[in-house]
Amino acid sequence: MNNPLNAVLRLIYGVYVWLGMALLGLFTLLCLLLLPGLNNRRRLTKFIARCLLRMVGIRFTLDHPTLLPATPCVVVSNHSSYLDGVVMKAVLPAHYSFVIKKEMIQVPLAGLLLQRIGALFVDRTNRHAGGIDTRRILRGAQAGQSMVFFPEGTFTHRAGLQAFHLGAFVTAQRSQLPVVPIALHGTRRILRPGSIWPKPGKVSVEVLGALPLHTARKDRNQVEALRDQARARILMAVGGPDLLRDSTDDSIDDNNNTDAIPLD
C-alpha cells in the first residue's frame, strides 16, 4: 500500500518541478529573444538546463567525455523520457544542434525557444516539405555542424530499445561525419512515460565512442550496417529489453521526436 505521506510529498515535489520549469522557461525565452548571437544563446541554454536539473534535485554526469570527438559528429541516443532533451542539452557541448519534428514549432513558447537556439526541424507529414528539410539538414552536416538525433523517434510505456530509423545515419554517411552512440541512463526512472509526476534521482550520459566510418556516401547497405552497429552498442550499454521484433505499438508521440528524416 502506498504511504499517504509519500504521495503528498511526491505531489508537492511535482508541483515545485513544473512551476520551476515554467518560470525558468519564461525567463530563458526572454533572454533568448534579447541575446544576440546563436552561440551565445546556445551557451545560455546549456547553463540554464544544468541549473534546472540541479534545482529539482536531478544529479547528472557525462561518462567517458574524452570519447566524444572534438571534431563535428552525429550523436545518436536512446530515448525513454521527456527529460532526455534537457539532459542532453545540459551535458553535451553547447554548439550541438538538435533535430526535432516540425510540429514543435506550433507549441507555445517551446517552439520559439527551439528556433532561437538553432534547432533543425523536419516535417514528417508532407513528403515534399520533409525533403526540403532533409536537404537543409544535410547541408548543415556537410558544413561541419554537429547534430543530435534520437533515432527511435519516440518512446514507449515499456522499457526497452525500439527499432532505429535511418535518418541520422544517412546524414552521417553522406556528410562523412562520425556517428557517436550515447547511452542515456536514469531518465525513465525520474519521469516515466505517461506520468506527469517526476521524482529526484540521478542520470548519466555514457559516451560509447565513435563508430568506424564507411566511405561510400550513398550505399544503403553500409548505412544500415552503421545503424545496426550503433543500436547494438547502445542496447548493450543500457541492458534493457530489445523491442525490435515486438509489433505492439504503444509509442508516445512526444515533443522530443527527433528522427523524422524521411530518408529510410
- H-only helix segments in the chain: 4-34, 38-55, 84-91, 110-116, 127-142, 167-175, 187-190, 220-238
pLDDT digits (tens, 9 = 90+) for 199-208: 899 999 999 9
pLDDT per residue over 176-198, tens digit each? 999 999 999 999 999 988 888 88
Residue ranges of the domains in the chain?
Answer: 4-252
Q: How far is CA 234 from the centre of its chain?
A: 14
Q: What is the pTM of this model?
A: 0.87
Residue of 45, 23, 79, 20 lying closest to 200 (CA atoms)? 20
Comparison of pLDDT for 156 and 139, the residue scoring more: 139
pLDDT at 258: 42
Residue 13 has pLDDT above 70, yes or no: yes
* CA–centroid distance for 122 within its chain: 14
Give the pLDDT band (50/70/90) at residue 248: very low
56's grid cell: 529539482
Q: Which CATH number fits domain 4-252: 2.40.10, 1.10.760, 3.40.1130, 3.40.50?
A: 3.40.1130
DSSP category for residue 87: H
DSSP 8-state secondary structure symbol assigned to residue 219 = -
Pairing of strands 201-207, 179-185: antiparallel
